[in-house]
Amino acid sequence: MTDDKLKPLREQIDAIDAQILDLLNRRALIAQQVGHVKAETNAPVFRPEREAQVLRSVADRNPGPLDAGDIQTIFREIMSSCRALERRVNVAYLGPVGTFSEQAVYQQFGHAVEGMPCVSIDEVFRAVEAGTADFGVVPLENSTEGAINRTLDLLLQTTLSISGEISIPIHHSLMSRSGSMEGIKRVCAHSQALAQCQAWLNQHYPNIERQAVASNGEAARIAGDDPTAAAIAGEIAGKKYALGVVQAHVQDDPHNRTRFVVIGRMQPAPSGKDHTSLVLAVPNKAGAVYNMLAPLASHGVSMTRFESRPARMGTWEYYFYVDIEGHAQDEKVATALAELKLNAAFFKVLGSYPFGL
Ligand SMILES: O=C(O)C(=O)C[C@]1(C(=O)O)C=C[C@@H](O)C=C1
């Protein structure tokens, strides 16, 4: 009975799938032509501003019933596969596989990329600077724990630019081989993850040793090998090492998120909705920070983030990491930046890039 009703509906789905298949391949053929044009001029294959515009436009035009976010996920993968026909880009990230950094790579580039897990944030920068990887993805800040200082320090020194941002919800799970805490003597995780779960751990397992390891992926690997170790990590990492979930969502803040940035040698053109990241320093005198930022207000440029970091050596006391709305090529931003530069003892534009989706 049910099958009788399903048959004509499935026939309609089959017919539509044939059309989708045809259209996808027609799109891919055009992307291949784009690839040839780019190859002639050595132009970059990955164009974050164009991808952001396509994703915004499909979400805006989406009539439903499919969810706009789901439509974007589908189109991100379509563009990823089309891009891979032009050339498959390599993306270095803080490994091992199964970490939130890897998830951030796929959220930005789709799955048709070559992921290159690296052992440290330094290694990610080195791989991109040396040209071994086209892009890198590094964590910049966590909503509970604040800035990732190593990333800030390396952004100051590097010749690379920020070409994208990605925000990922961070849900930590406590996991072990058996899926229980019986016989568990230590809980392993990255120090940031231990910090993000400390109230929960204090309440539930105050007497179990906590061990900081290089990454949550590494913690999951350890727990996969050692029946007396549990790991705090994302469930993707847990699945990779066949761990059972003792308790999901053990992070203290349910809205915990990490913001990642994409680093590379290219500088995206304006997409219409962009952020620009800067590093500034001012001479150490009263009112200097206030004066430094005055051009932003006077030209109507909004500041979305302000972070200070000790300079450690040299003439200035602090570096200020500032994010603003807009692209460095937008007229009012360009004017404000030119004025900022005049007042600053140190001034570096880290990059302009599309708003994270
Ligand atoms: O428009 C381009 O430059 C393309 O290469 C096409 C395309 C796409 O599939 O839409 C693929 C890769 C780029 O990152 C942007 C868009």
Identify the CATH number of the domain in which residue 159 sits: 3.40.190.10
Catalytic residue among 260, 306, 315, 335: 260
Domain membership flag for residue 126: yes
State residue 188 phi and psi, 5-degree precision. -105, 145
Domain membership flag for residue 252: no
Q: Is 208 found in the same domain as 139? A: no
pLDDT tens for 144-194 read: 888 999 999 999 999 999 999 999 999 999 999 999 999 999 999 999 899
Q: Is 82 found in the same domain as 95? A: no
Instruction: Calculate the dihedral angle through the C-alpha atoms of 53, 55, 56, 61, rounding to the nearest 10 degrees.
Output: 120
Q: Is 157 found in the same domain as 193? A: no
Ligand 1 mutation pick, 47, 55, 109, 271, max ligand atoms within 8 A of CB:
47
Q: How would residue 316 be classed by pLDDT, with cut points 50, 70 and 90?
A: low
> Percentage of the chain surpassing pLDDT 90?
84
pLDDT tens for 317-338 read: 789 999 999 999 999 999 999 9
pLDDT of residue 1: 67
Domain membership flag for residue 206: yes
Residue 303 sits in a domain whose CATH number is: 3.30.70.260
Domain membership flag for residue 144: yes
Domain membership flag for residue 155: yes
Contact between 275 and 325 (Cβ < 8 Å): yes
pLDDT of residue 58: 98
Whether pLDDT at 284 is above 80: no
Q: Is 157 found in the same domain as 198? A: no
**Average pLDDT score over residue span 36-51:** 95
Q: Is 159 found in the same domain as 187? A: no
* Cα–Cα distance, 281 to 77 (Å, whole number): 41
**Average pLDDT score over residue span 198-205:** 96
pLDDT tens for 55-99 read: 999 999 999 999 999 999 999 999 999 999 999 999 999 988 878
Torsion sign, CA atoms 179, 100, 97, 73: positive
Whether pLDDT at 354 is above 80: yes
pLDDT of residue 315: 58
CA angle 62, 63, 67 (to 5 degrees): 65
- Ligand 1 within 6 A of CB of 134: no
Whether pLDDT at 271 is above 90: yes
pLDDT of residue 287: 85
pLDDT of residue 48: 97
- Ligand 1 within 6 A of CB of 54: yes
Q: State the residue range of the domain holding 211.
A: 173-247
- Ligand 1 within 6 A of CB of 177: no
Q: Evaluate whether ipTM surpasses 0.90.
A: yes
Domain boundary, last residue among 86, 104, 131: 86
pLDDT of residue 72: 97
Q: How would residue 215 be classed by pLDDT, with cut points 50, 70 and 90?
A: confident
Q: Is 55 found in the same domain as 118? A: no
Domain boundary, last residue among 86, 104, 119: 86
Instruction: Count the domains in the chain.
Output: 4
Look at 46-50, 59-63, 254-258, 328-332 and tell me which has the smallest mean pLDDT.
254-258
Q: Is 290 found in the same domain as 234? A: no
* Cα–Cα distance, 102 to 116 (Å, whole number): 9
**Average pLDDT score over residue span 212-238:** 93
- Ligand 1 within 6 A of CB of 155: no
Whether pLDDT at 314 is above 90: no
DSSP 144-212: TTEE-HHHHHHHHH-S-EEEEEEEEE---EEEESSSS-TT--EEEE-HHHHHHTHHHHHHH-TTSEEEE
Tell me, yes or no, if 260 is annotated catalytic. yes
* Cα–Cα distance, 273 to 353 (Å, whole number): 9
Q: How would residue 313 be classed by pLDDT, with cut points 50, 70 and 90?
A: low
Calculate the alpha carbon distances from 80 to 26, 48, 61, 117, 334 in Å: 15, 11, 21, 19, 32
Domain membership flag for residue 99: yes
pLDDT of residue 202: 97
Q: Is 79 found in the same domain as 104? A: no
Whose CA is closest to 354, among 59, 139, 50, 43? Answer: 50
- Ligand 1 within 6 A of CB of 47: yes
Q: How far is the CA of 24 from the centre of ligand 1 (A)?
A: 14
* Cα–Cα distance, 106 to 119 (Å, whole number): 19
Q: Is 165 found in the same domain as 99? A: yes
Domain membership flag for residue 227: yes
Contact between 293 and 301 (Cβ < 8 Å): no
Domain membership flag for residue 269: no
Residue 61 sits in a domain whose CATH number is: 1.20.59.10
pLDDT of residue 317: 79
Tell me, yes or no, if 258 is annotated catalytic. yes
Q: Is 177 found in the same domain as 150? A: no
